[in-house]
Structure 1
Amino acid sequence: MPQLSVVIPLYNEIESIPALIEALRAALAGADAEVIIVDDGSRDGSARALDDAAQSWGAALKILHLQRNFGQTAAMQAGIDAARGEVIVTLDADLQNDPQDILPLAQRLLREHLDVVAGWRKDRKDGLLLRKIPSRIANRLIRRLTGVYLHDYGCTLKAYRASVLKGVRLYGEMHRFIPAWLSTLTYTDRILEVPVRHHPRRAGKSKYGISRTFRVLVDLFFVKYFLGYSQRPMHFFGTIGLASLAVGSAMLLYLFVDKFVDGASISGRPMLIAGVLFFLAGLQFLNTGILGEMLSRVYYEAQHKTTYVVRSSVHIDVSEI
């Protein structure tokens, strides 16, 4: 069983593969490590190049070929599922992150008993307008909403304790939020960020554009809800429902007094329509909260999931004392 597993999702990076393999072999020389490269349905000949690399490297290199292009998150999850090491390090295939940083991150995680050591591209070698500025805006927003204060959520180079990382499942495009997901299973003081090297892209072209920022914002709303209310949806929807009911009831009560005490006409008044809408919306939010609670319980019970994670245990056999 290797102590370290390096997981690399890859899509259409045929020009980077020779240099990637060479850099990995140099960085991991002598280490008890395995490398898992997940070919995410590449169409440029990357699959054949990876198979050739596996033949020359041997058992330390494992290649997973996905049926089609499922996206970086799915490819990363496939690699995590296949990983056998105590520590899992994720890395991009474009060599903008330096493989020489893999072992220092893994060693620091073990030495300081951490659960996540995240890379921070402090001196980032990317374009200012299309990459740096949108990334800074997204990172600041993610920090504020998740409570996990990292400078660089978008850096794929991160080291994880496998027992913690395998406790979450990644869907959609949630790979950039892994530290936030893990904050539901561990303390944030076990999540550390350290500066890592960053290089300009050597070959190929980036798979990301300005549209990624908008996808991050959409995903972030789900992450915020999941982190705070996945196990208690009634607290989220119920609070909104009660507030809406209170506003609607206050409006309708005012109109009731106005009608039967002062004799004013209330038909056709905007407040009547608004009051009814707020009241009905409140009932609907409460109903959604109840359904959410039921679905949450069905989810946890059907999949035998728990709301806790055991870090370690100590058992002393009294008969041997």
Structure 2
Amino acid sequence: MLAPDVSVVLPLYRNSASMQELVERLAKALADEKFEIIGVDDACPEVSGEVLLSSAASLGVETRLIRHARNLGQNRAVLAGLQEARGRHIVVMDSDLQDPPEEIPRLLAEARTSGVQVVFGRRVGTYRRLSDELTSYVFKWLLFRLANCGFDPRIGLFFVLDSEARMQLVAPRGAAPYVMAMLACAHPSWCSVAYERHARSSGRSAYSFKRRFVLAINAFHCYAQIKREGRL
């Protein structure tokens, strides 16, 4: 089987309500690409993985599903998907439709014309509470400053990376890997493309203040471990 040009990695947890629409919009946005979807069902109680498979099958979209027996968190789900990705370019995005699939062609075009290893979506617009936005910005500003990578604090888990950058992320990591810290420490060539991030259409974010605080601690721990061991 020929390798696809693009792999789309989707961490799945309580995304069954948005899955059909997400797959339909991905199929339309990437109609001119040979692409695959790699879903990582992170022990989702809402059978998001099954909804993904059925939705993709109805549209003839090549899809593979990785199942975690227990919930390992978004970052491990992303890394598991990257491990299986076969595309020359890999798209990483959430599955809740806050990041519009229609923006993917712009990120891919920038990656192909600029030759950088990673193209991030740079979030603009009002899509969550100001307090949440401020704490997220400060956290990422501190992390990226420590790593001296120059990343914009308005980026997140919506990006395109090439196969070389992917290989830097799929090597064995510690107990609490954090994708953005790993990318920051790798110092890839990068750029960003502004896009309007949407508010959640339904439900609430699983990231409470407490959970976001724990993730921040994990991120700095991951950064410190990488620096200490000199793995990137």
TM-score bracket for this pair, using the shorter chain length? 0.7 to 0.9
Match of 2:128 in 1: 126
State how 1:135-150 maps to structure 2 within 5 Å. 135-150=136-151
CA distance in 2, matches of 1:18, 1:59: 12
Higher helix proportion, which one?
1
Partner of 1:198: 197
Question: Comparing both chains, which one has the higher relative contact order based on Cα–Cα distances under 8 Å and sequence gaps of 6 or more?
Answer: 2
Q: Give per-residue Cα distances to partners, 1:197-220, cap 9 Å, x unaligned.
A: 211111232121212442244234
Aligned CA RMSD, in angstroms, stands at 2.1
* Distance apart, 1:60 and its partner CA: 2.0
Whole-angstrom CA distance in 1 between matches of 2:210 and 2:88: 36
Contact 1:16/1:204 (<8 A) preserved: no
Shift of 1:112: 1.0
Q: How far does the alpha carbon of each residue in 1:274-312 deviate from its partner, in whole angstroms, 9 at most, with x for none?
A: xxxxxxxxxxxxxxxxxxxxxxxxxxxxxxxxx78xxxx
Contact 2:103 2:195 in 1 (8 A): yes
In 1, the alpha carbon distance for the partners of 2:72 and 2:87 equals 24
**Residue correspondence of structure 1 range 271-310 to structure 2 within 5 A:** none
Per-residue deviation, residues 241-260 of structure 1 (Å, max 9, x unmatched): xxxxxxxxxxxxxxxxxxxx
Q: Distance in 2 between matches of 1:65 and 1:153?
A: 30
Amino acid corresponding to residue 138 of structure 2 in structure 1: I
Could you give the per-residue CA deviations for residues 12-42 of structure 1, whole angstroms, max 9, x where no partner exists?
A: 1111112111211111112121111211111
Structure with more strand by fraction: 2
- State the distance in 2 between where 1:9 and 1:228 align: 27
Structure 1 Cα separation of the partners of residues 65 and 56 of structure 2 = 7
Task: Describe how 1:147-186 pairs up with structure 2 within 5 A.
Answer: 147-152=148-153, 155-169=156-170, 172-183=176-187, 186=188
> Which amino acid in structure 2 is aligned with residue 149 of structure 1?
G
Q: Say if 1:138 and 1:213, in contact at 8 Å, map to a contact too.
A: no
Report the Cα offset of residue 61 of structure 1: 2.4
Contact persistence 2:24–2:59 (CA under 8 A): no
CA distance change for structure 1 residues 213 and 11 in 2, over 3 Å: closer, same or farther?
A: closer
Q: How far, CA to CA, are the matches of 1:51 and 1:210 in structure 2?
A: 33
TM-score for both structures, normalised by structure 2: 0.88
The AA in structure 2 aligned to 1:194 is V
Report whether the alignment pairs 1:82 with 2:81: no
Deviation at 1:227, TM superposition (A): 4.8
CA distance in structure 1 between the aligned counterparts of 2:182 and 2:31, rounded to whole angstroms:
28
Secondary structure of 1:73's counterpart equals helix
1:108 aligned onto 2:110? yes
Distance in 2 between residues matched to 1:52 and 1:213, nearest whole Å: 32
Change (3 A) 1:204 1:164: same
When residues 201 and 30 of structure 1 are mapped into structure 2, their CA distance, relative to the original with a 3 A threshold, is same
Rg larger for: 1
Return the offset for 1:128.
1.3
Cα distance, 1:192 vs structure 2:
1.2
**Equivalent residue of 2:150, what SS?**
coil
* Deviation of 1:122 (Å): 2.0
Instruction: Show the counterpart of 2:97.
Output: 95
CA 178–195 in structure 1, closer or farther in 2 if over 3 Å, else same = farther
Gaps of 5+ in 1: 232-306, 309-321
Per mean C-alpha deviation after superposition, the further-off stretch among 137-146 and 219-228 is 219-228
| Contact 1:120 1:196 (8 Å CA) reproduced | yes
Q: Which runs of 4+ in 1 moved over 3 A?
A: 226-229
Write out per-residue CA displacement over residues 89-136 of structure 1, whole angstroms, 9 at most, x where no aligned residue: 10100000011111211221121110111111122411112x212112
- What percentage of residue pairs aligned between the two structures are identical? 27
Q: TM-score, normalised by structure 1?
A: 0.65
